Amino acid sequence: MRTRGIAVFIGLFTVAMAIAGCGGGGDDSSSGPAISKAVFIKKADAVCQGGNERMEVDFAAFLKEKKNIKKPSQADYEELVGEVVVPNLRREIKEIRALGAPSGDEDKVDAYLEAVEEGLETAEDDPTVAVKSSEAVFGVSSRLAKEYGLEVCGSR
C-alpha cells in the first residue's frame, strides 16, 4: 500500500510541476519597464524554469516529510498545494509581473496571468481538482502562454 501512496504523490508531483510552469497573478503587468516580446518570453520562461526547479526541491522535501504515508488524504493534498504549489506560483507571479509587458501586448499578458491566477484559486479551493486534472485547472492559461510564445511557462 505504501507504493500506491507514493505513486499518488508522484502523480501529484507531476501536476505540481505542470502548475509551476504556469505563473499567474493579480497585479498590473504594466508596472514594469516596457521590454520587447522576445526578451519578455526569454525572461518569463527563465522565471518559470527557476520556479520548476524550486518546486522540485520543495516537493522532494514534502515527500521526505511524508515518508510514512500510505494513502494521501485531502489534508495532504491541501498541504502540498498550500505549502509547495501556492508559494512557488505566487513568487513566479511577482517575478513575471515585474518584467513588465511588452508594449501593445499588455492585454495578452494580463489575460494569460489572470487565467493562471484563476486556476491557482481553483487549486487552492479544491486541491484534488488539480490532482485529477491540471488541464481542467490550468488548460486555458497553458493555451494562452503557448499562443503568446512562452514555452516553459505554458508547458504541461
Mean pLDDT in consecutive groups of 10 residues from the start of the chain, 156 residues: 48 54 42 80 96 91 80 83 86 92 95 91 84 80 94 83
CA 37 to chain centre: 21
pLDDT of residue 114: 93
The answer to whether residue 156 sits within a structural domain is no
The answer to whether residue 65 sits within a structural domain is yes
The answer to whether residue 64 sits within a structural domain is yes
The answer to whether residue 105 sits within a structural domain is yes
The answer to whether residue 153 sits within a structural domain is no
The answer to whether residue 135 sits within a structural domain is yes
Domain enclosing residue 64, as ranges: 2-23+33-148
The answer to whether residue 52 sits within a structural domain is yes
Query: How many structural domains compose the chain?
Result: 1
The answer to whether residue 143 sits within a structural domain is yes
pLDDT of residue 15: 54
φ, ψ of residue 28 to 5 degrees: the values are: -80, 115
Give 82's DSSP letter: I
Grid coordinates of 40: 519578455
Please name which of 102, 112, 121, 107 lies closest in space to residue 142, comparing C-alpha atoms: 112
pLDDT of residue 26: 38
pLDDT of residue 57: 93
